[in-house]
Amino acid sequence: MFQQLFNWRALLALIAILIVTGTIFYSRYLAQKIANEERQKVEQWIEAGKFVINSPSDADTKLALMILRENSDVPIIETDERDSITSHVNIDTAAIAKDSTYLRKKLKEFKSQNKPIAYQTNAANPAQRNIYYYGESLLLKEIRYYPIVQLIIVTLFIITTILALRSTYNSIQNQVWAGMAKETAHQLGTPVSSLEGWVEMLKEKPENEMIVHELEKDVNRLRLVSDRFGKIGSSPHLEYTDIVRHITNMVEYIRKRATDKVNFSIDTHEKKELTVLLSAPLFDWVIENLLKNALDAMEGKGSIKIDIQENPHTVNIDVTDTGKGISLQNITKVFKPGFTTKKRGWGLGLSLSKRIVEQYHDGEIFVKNSEPGKGTTFRIVLKK
């Protein structure tokens, strides 16, 4: 599915590049064509104007006047040989009235846009002439800016499509996770129930008391694991829970299953109780995963420190080990399903932990820092 998403991204990017490239070239072609037509239009307008002024009174000026009237979009400024403005057409009169320098600004703009057209007014004096500067019509401006608008539209389309594909991918992935978890819970249910029955039978004989006690704890643990899997994909029931007591209990559980060479410590900064909203079975799973990963990273010896820090709006939980650490290129991968550096396991623990913390508890979990050969710190942030 991820490969398909990547292929879709590449395909969409290629389509966007082709569309924008084609649009740019075609827009330039149209812009140049319109620019040539507008220059011809200005030349005809100038000739028509001079014909009307210089023609005898009985001459037919209908065509010339029609040409003059038809130019309602190309702005023109007329100057003499001393660059003094003598007349103008299709310029915003309101802007001229408001700003005395407006015409000069437009003249400077027109000079940078198009080559002027000169008209000699006195055959005896070649220096005496009128010069016509003209700008771009609204249509030509729209054609020039069209590729930019097209690029924005295509970019928005691609972003929307990618977000939709990613949302679909995440939805499918969530369904797979939930389905797998519920099926695992279902499969565990039958043997766990059977084991509970055998434990009850063993209780009937007093000589089995010590064995039954330990066996019952392990069966209860299996039931808890089954219950955790069953809650994946369902809306969790959150209750106000003392996070200090909860983590302490989990540390004690893991301590009994670790070697004597591992030192556990909890620093609550003199807080004996911190209450947050939790789904206890699911959150236990997160802490258990972090502690077991720490034990694996230390290979049976070292220290694990849990630091619980209260802030004005959050509670931060740092789990620090003195293990082999995580390389820089792997830090961004540790929460991805299937990623693991261990010889055993499916690489699902941290991925599930991230889902439990972020989706069910509206919190955060991330690698705060890690240094190969020195250890790693994972941080959990929960809202108070």
Q: What is the Cα–Cα distance from 355 to 333, expressed in whole angstroms?
A: 15
Could you report the per-residue pLDDT of 255-274, keeping only the tens digit for each? 988 888 999 999 999 898 99
Question: How confident is residue 234, by pLDDT bands cut at 50, 70 and 90?
Answer: low
In a domain, 108, yes or no: yes
Task: Check: CB of residue 165 under 8 Å from CB of residue 2.
Answer: no
Place of tokens 């003392």: 242
In a domain, 257, yes or no: yes
Q: What is the Cα–Cα distance from 338 to 209, expressed in whole angstroms?
A: 42
Q: Same domain for 136 and 243? A: no
Q: What is the Cα–Cα distance from 269 to 248, expressed in whole angstroms?
A: 14
Q: Same domain for 254 and 116? A: no
Q: Same domain for 248 and 373? A: yes
In a domain, 372, yes or no: yes
Task: Check: CB of residue 192 under 8 Å from CB of residue 228.
Answer: no
Q: Which range in 120-129, 206-215, 355-364 is most confidently predicted, on average pLDDT?
A: 355-364
Q: Is 101 exposed, middle or buried (0-12, 13-18, 19+ CB in 10 A)?
A: exposed
Which pLDDT does position 1 carry in this prediction?
Answer: 46
Report how far apart the first and last C-alpha atoms of the chain are (Å, whole number): 37
In a domain, 39, yes or no: yes
Q: Same domain for 377 and 244? A: yes
What CATH number has the domain bearing residue 290? 3.30.565.10
Q: Same domain for 241 and 372? A: yes
In a domain, 172, yes or no: no
Question: How confident is residue 62, by pLDDT bands cut at 50, 70 and 90?
Answer: confident
User: Side chain identity at 23, as an amino acid letter?
Assistant: T
Place of tokens 């007349």: 87
Please say which residue of 142, 176, 194 terminates a domain. 142
What average pLDDT is seen over the chain?
83
How many domains does the chain divide into?
Answer: 2
Strand partners, 376: 321, 370
Please say which residue of 125, 142, 159 terminates a domain. 142
Which pLDDT does position 172 carry in this prediction?
Answer: 63
Q: What is the Cα–Cα distance from 237 to 295, expressed in whole angstroms?
A: 30
Please say which residue of 116, 142, 168 terminates a domain. 142
Q: Same domain for 6 and 128? A: yes
Structure tokens at 98: 């408001």
Share of the chain above pLDDT 70, in %: 84
How many C-beta atoms lie closer than 10 Å to residue 305's C-beta?
Answer: 17
Q: Same domain for 247 and 370? A: yes
**The model scores a pTM over 0.85:** no
Q: Same domain for 115 and 241? A: no
Could you report the per-residue pLDDT of 1-20, keeping only the tens digit for each? 445 545 666 776 777 778 77
Whether 324 shows a pLDDT value over 50: the answer reads: yes
Task: Find the mean pLDDT for residues 18-35.
Answer: 84
Give the domain extent around 27: 2-142
Structure tokens at 359: 């989706």
Question: How confident is residue 315, by pLDDT bands cut at 50, 70 and 90?
Answer: very high
Question: How confident is residue 72, by pLDDT bands cut at 50, 70 and 90?
Answer: confident
Which pLDDT does position 124 carry in this prediction?
Answer: 63
In a domain, 360, yes or no: yes
Which pLDDT does position 110 carry in this prediction?
Answer: 93
Q: Same domain for 239 and 376? A: yes
Q: What is the Cα–Cα distance from 163 to 160, expressed in whole angstroms?
A: 5
How many Cα atoms within 13 Å fall on the side-chain side of residue 146? 19
In a domain, 350, yes or no: yes
Q: Same domain for 135 and 240? A: no
Which DSSP letter does residue 241 get? E
In a domain, 221, yes or no: no
Task: Check: CB of residue 297 under 8 Å from CB of residue 359.
Answer: no
